[in-house]
Amino acid sequence: MIEIRGLTKSFGSLPVLRGIDLTAAAGHVTAIIGPNAAGKTTLMKALVGLVIPDGGDIRVGGVSVRRSWAYRARLGYMPQLPRFPENLTLGELVALIKDLRGAAAPGEEALLGLFDLAALLARPLRVLSGGTRQRISAALAMMFDPELLVLDEPTAGLDPLSSRRFKDLLDAERERGKTIVLASHVMSDLEELSDRIVFLSEGKVFFDGTLAEILGQSGEPTLERAIARMMEGERR
């Protein structure tokens, strides 16, 4: 479980997060949505420890993660734009992450197979396409069977087959009680995966509820329309 209380962050004089309160429960997919520059990626990065918050607190399993690094052994992260050292091969990258984590990777073979990566192990990473990198990123994030998954637009760039497999996998992970936080602009991701939707706008939580609540509140027939309306309403 992840609890975020009063999280603030500014870049220079620009406030990006202005007091975020949020709880992501185990066994749930919490989707973070919102217009561009709403603070989604900053929030995700704060969870991982890439961005250092100015104020507030993030607790994972009840323990504050401020100045802590060990909690990341229980966390898998997919960044928005995965890029890897150009001269290493995929096999070396996998070995590197395993070596750095110093942990067993129970999901290694299954994930490399699932995302069609096993045949690419000897290839240098510089020759692999964007979609392939995204698949690698997914495999690396889940390989160590982490309790928490922080996924920043994970299906962007994935072909339909990989995207389908990825979503099925995420469904299974949720069933196993994982805490999943996901940012996405893809409506089908949200409709299929999310248990809860958190709408961020200008660094604040603008709406926090289930899919049914969002639809009911807006009176729109589809999620896309409901979200579009929410964005319009919030701009007015």
Partner 1 sequence: MRQALKVGRYALADLVRSRWILAYAGFFAVLGWALFYFGEEPAQAIVSLLSVVLIVIPLVSAIFGVTQFYNTREFVELLLAQPLRRHSVFFGQYAGLALCLALAFVVGVAGPFLWYGAGNREDVGPLVGLLLAGIFLTLIFVALAFLVGIRTENRLRAVGTLVFLWLYFTVLYDGLLLLGIMLFDAYPLERPLVVLTLLNPVDLARIVILLRLDAAALLGYTGAIFQQFFGSGWGMVLTIGALLLWTLVPTALAARLYATKDF
DSSP label at residue 128: S
Phi, psi (deg, nearest 5) at residue 133: -60, -40
Residues paired with residue 33 on neighbouring β-strands, in sequence order: 199
Indicate whether 71 belongs to the interface with partner 1 (CB under 8 A). yes
Nearest-approach distance from CB 70 to partner 1, in angstroms: 6
Q: Which stretch binds partner 1 (CB under 8 A): 58-66, 86-94, 106-114, 183-191?
A: 86-94
Indicate whether 92 belongs to the interface with partner 1 (CB under 8 A). yes
**Of 51-70, which residues contact partner 1 (CB under 8 A)?**
51-52, 69-70
Nearest to partner 1 of 52, 63 (CB atom): 52
Q: How many residues bind partner 1 (CB under 8 A)?
A: 31
Indicate whether 11 belongs to the interface with partner 1 (CB under 8 A). yes
CB 143 within 8 A of CB 112: no
The tokens 């073979």 sit on which residue? 109
Nearest-approach distance from CB 206 to partner 1, in angstroms: 24
Indicate whether 45 belongs to the interface with partner 1 (CB under 8 A). yes
The tokens 């299906």 sit on which residue? 155
DSSP label at residue 124: B
Nearest-approach distance from CB 167 to partner 1, in angstroms: 22
Q: Which stretch binds partner 1 (CB under 8 A): 21-29, 97-105, 176-184, 186-194?
A: 97-105
Nearest-approach distance from CB 33 to partner 1, in angstroms: 22
CA–CA distance, 32 with 205 (Å, rounded to integer):
10
CB 227 within 8 A of CB 200: no
Nearest-approach distance from CB 191 to partner 1, in angstroms: 28
Strand order in the sheet with 14-24: 14-24, 2-11, 55-60, 63-64
Beta strands 28-33 and 196-201, pairing class: parallel
Indicate whether 39 belongs to the interface with partner 1 (CB under 8 A). no
- For residue 158, CA distances in Å to 132, 133, 191 come to 8, 9, 17
Nearest-approach distance from CB 82 to partner 1, in angstroms: 7
Residues that bind partner 1 (CB under 8 A): 9, 11, 45, 48-52, 69-73, 75, 77, 79, 81-88, 92, 96-97, 99-101, 140
